[in-house]
Amino acid sequence: MAVIDLGTSVLAMRRQRQLYSFGAVLLVVAMMAWGYSEANELNSGSFLTGLTKFFDYPSEIVIEAWDLGLFGLLGLMWHFFPALIETLNIAFVATIIGGFLAMGLSFASTRNLDVWPPLIPVTRRVMDVMRAFPELVIALFLIFLLGSSPIPAMIAVAFHTAGALGKLFSEVNENIDRKPIEGLKAVGGNWIQRIRFAVMPQVAPNYLSYFLLRLEINVRASAILGFVGAGGIGSELRRSIGWGQGAGDDTAALFLLLFLAIIIIDQTSSYLRARLTGAARH
């Protein structure tokens, strides 16, 4: 009799829990619907109305670029080419600086490289902080301090790159063969010599592969940072898009220029990474 009462009690509690869960889901859905309607009323136009006009602006860009003609579009692309070079310079310099910082951070955060043990967790937390803040947030803060120029963008991208690559490099370090390190240590090699002659030959291909991959990412990040006043092709895109109708040919030229540059960089980096890893031989 007691067993039957216990089973009935368990079933009742299960039904009650399911009822509470169903009620909580309904409450969340109702709050989301209410929040959407309130936000939609505060907008100048409703979401559905804007959705019907989604392709109006892209079609204007295509029409204005078509009216300009091929040679006119190529002329505009040549006109904006210096802005692209500025964006590429930001990405290249930031990646180089961030890459060298990442190497130092990775060596200081790897357990099997005979590093002073208390230094390892400190370095890893530093890299966590560097990865936690997006480039856009860092760039906005630096632009407020230093003014609008490519320098804040370069610092922001390099800062984030150091944290991201440092994490990847440290994982590469953890998978190396320690026999060369032990051999150099046995014959009296100091720590720098062990890193140079025993570690670097093992990790250099992976380091360069990750470096090239990060370069691709930083080119896109540098273009985006131009929208917040960091210079380069992003600033030109912000200007042309802000003008709206009548600047579609500029916007089309900038999109094509950035698209072609990213394709070239991606293909070049992919080819170099394949050569490094030996994939091009197969």
pLDDT above 70 as % of the chain: 87
Indicate whether 229 pLDDT > 90.
no
pLDDT at 155: 92
pLDDT at 258: 86
Tokens of 230: 């960091």
DSSP 3-state of 114: coil
pLDDT at 280: 42
- Residue closest to 202 by CA, chosen among 93, 72, 110, 125: 110
Indicate whether 41 pLDDT > 80.
no
pLDDT at 249: 80
Indicate whether 59 pLDDT > 70.
yes
Residue 282 banded pLDDT, cuts 50, 70, 90: very low
- The CATH number fitting domain 68-281, selected from 3.40.50.300, 1.10.1740.10, 1.10.3720.10, 3.40.50.740: 1.10.3720.10
Least confident window among 52-56, 176-180, 261-265 = 52-56
pLDDT at 124: 93
Least confident window among 108-117, 183-192, 268-277 = 268-277
The dihedral sign for the CA sequence 30, 32, 38, 41: negative
pLDDT at 103: 95
Residue 55 banded pLDDT, cuts 50, 70, 90: confident
Q: Are 109 and 124 in contact (CB under 8 A)?
A: yes
Indicate whether 207 pLDDT > 80.
yes
What mean pLDDT is reported for the chain?
Answer: 83
Tokens of 129: 């902080």
Residue in the block written with tokens 């062990």: 194
Least confident window among 161-170, 186-195, 223-232 = 223-232
Indicate whether 100 pLDDT > 90.
yes
Q: How far is Cα 177 from Cα 202, in angstroms, rounded to an integer?
A: 8
239: exposed, middle or buried (Cβ count in 10 Å: 0-12, 13-18, 19+): middle
Q: Which amino acid is at 47?
A: F
pLDDT at 228: 75
Mean pLDDT of 196-201: 90
Q: How far is Cα 279 from Cα 170, in angstroms, rounded to an integer?
A: 24
Residue 281 banded pLDDT, cuts 50, 70, 90: very low
Q: How far is Cα 241 from Cα 247, in angstroms, rounded to an integer?
A: 7
Can you give the residue ranges of every domain in the chain?
2-52, 68-281
Q: How far is Cα 271 from Cα 256, in angstroms, rounded to an integer?
A: 22
Tokens of 240: 């042309």
Q: Are 172 and 204 in contact (CB under 8 A)?
A: no
- Residue closest to 76 by CA, chosen among 257, 235, 253: 253
Q: How far is Cα 169 from Cα 55, in angstroms, rounded to an integer?
A: 44
Tokens of 54: 């989604």
Buried b (16+ CB within 10 A) or exposed e, 81-99: eebbebbbebbebbbebbb
Q: Are 65 and 255 in contact (CB under 8 A)?
A: no
pLDDT at 51: 67
pLDDT at 277: 64
Least confident window among 60-64, 191-195, 244-248 = 244-248
User: Which is more confidently placed, 42 or 198?
Assistant: 198
Mean pLDDT of 152-173: 93
